[in-house]
Amino acid sequence: MSKFQVIVLAIFVVCIIAGVIAFATFKGAGSGTTLSAMKVWGTFSSDTLNKYVADINNTASETITVTYTQFAPDQFSSAFIAALARGTGPDVVLLPLDMLYPHLDKITPIPYAALPQRTFMDTYVQESNLYLTSNGIIAIPFVIDPLIMYWNRDMWNAAGIATYPKYWEDLTNLIPKLTVKDSNGNIRKSALAMGDFSNITNAREVIGSLLMQLGNPVTAYGSDGLATTISMSGGSAPQSVLKFYTQFVNPESPNYSWNRGMPNDKTAFLSGIAATYLGFASELKDLRNKNPNLDFDAAGLPQVKTGGVKATYGKMYGFSVLKSSPNSNNSYQIISTLVAPTNLAKLSEMMYLPSVLRSVLAAGSSDPYMSVFNDTALIANAWFDIDTAKSRQLFSNMVQSVTSGKSSILEAIQDIGNQYDLLLKSAAN
């Protein structure tokens, strides 16, 4: 490392240590006390969290105990609310950022007097800023899983393409080279699995990434609380995104490369039918396991070449302490151990995912995949939602109403704007 890199890394480490010390001492953490078990509920992998805690305890001077219960995303909220009503709920929740909004009234924010906003922003990646509120910090970042692009080396080489594109405009120029059609115009091999919804694994996240790249945050706080920006009030970005996204399933478009009759996009990629797959960094191991013979690589999600903002969707998990916890001080001390820089660096290695810590990302990586993951983690973002399954259905309705000819692009955008706002407002009732 150069002298400059060492200095920058040292500054980040100092910021992290200062933040962790403040966080650990929030609410007057006492010394010499034995920590009791921390009860956590969430949708994060129980196998991963339990192994992580066990690894920490193998080298720690003081053992921590975390009792974790994992729920399916569609089952968490009902079970959580029922448990709180009975007085049997957890101390802490570990949830994706986009599932946190309906439960904000149940969370104890960390005041900026304990963990300064500047320290927090200097410590964690950009997406973490969504945890910052006027009342304090609603969650401490734990894991981030960015959306990236996987590409089939053999298909790209056969098409005479030497490098992967960094921009959407350049990728669309390659559609004719990578897409193979028979004499009847039927797609046999696809350059890009995009345009439909039913057979696109991460369609909601891809569309959201496109919106964020054009400066549209998908949802934002207004005078009446959380509202969607996918409407005319969001400017021309939603129209541009929907027009761009749906062109790939339009037989009359020069970029026609996908349709509803194609298999699932991930299956198509694994089978050598699709030249690209837009998936999460965490899917790398699964892709390798399902087809060890597939020669593929990873790259950042393509970006808008001019006039845009670098962005990709990131699935971020964070710890939030509940108001109902009988011993929040105990929880804060245990969480401070779980998010300690040395431990989070080990978690990144264990999960083969980028760290939420800027200091770890700044250190770089010689691993060819991790270097891609690290770069995308820095530009990852997301939005607050109320029910990801329901919002996914709204996105699906929007796309399918356009591709079926039922609605114009403008009508589809206005419709999702109205329905999404109603969904978001239901969280306050």
Domains of the chain: 3-142+317-355 (3.40.190.10), 160-274+386-428 (3.40.190.10)
User: Residue-wise pLDDT tens for the chain (429 aa)?
Assistant: 554 444 444 444 445 444 554 555 454 444 445 789 999 999 999 999 999 999 999 998 889 999 999 999 999 999 999 999 999 999 999 999 999 999 999 999 999 999 999 999 999 999 999 999 999 999 999 999 999 999 999 999 999 998 889 999 999 999 999 999 999 999 999 999 999 999 999 999 999 999 999 999 999 998 888 999 998 665 789 999 999 999 999 999 999 999 999 999 999 999 999 999 999 999 999 999 999 999 999 999 999 998 899 999 999 999 999 999 998 999 999 999 999 999 999 999 999 999 999 999 999 999 999 999 999 999 999 999 999 999 999 999 999 999 999 999 999 999 999 999 999 988 755
What pTM was estimated for this model as a whole? 0.91
Using DSSP bridges, classify how beta strands 38-42 and 92-96 pair: parallel, antiparallel or unpaired: parallel
What is the rounded distance in angstroms from the CA atom of residue 99 to the CA atom of residue 41?
Answer: 13
What is the rounded distance in angstroms from the CA atom of residue 94 to the CA atom of residue 319?
Answer: 5
- Residue type at 89 in one-letter notation: G
What is the rounded distance in angstroms from the CA atom of residue 262 to the CA atom of residue 270?
Answer: 13
What is the rounded distance in angstroms from the CA atom of residue 225 to the CA atom of residue 229?
Answer: 12
Which residue, among 392, 382, 402, has the nearest Cα to 100 in the 3D structure? 382
**Phi and psi at residue 214, to the nearest 5°:** -100, 15
Q: How far is CA 323 from the centre of its chain?
A: 26
What is the rounded distance in angstroms from the CA atom of residue 91 to the CA atom of residue 369?
Answer: 36
Give the SS3 label for residue 356: coil
**Phi and psi at residue 217, to the nearest 5°:** -80, 0
Using DSSP bridges, classify how beta strands 136-137 and 38-42 pair: parallel, antiparallel or unpaired: unpaired
* Sign of the C-alpha dihedral computed for residues 35, 38, 44 and 47 taken in this order: positive
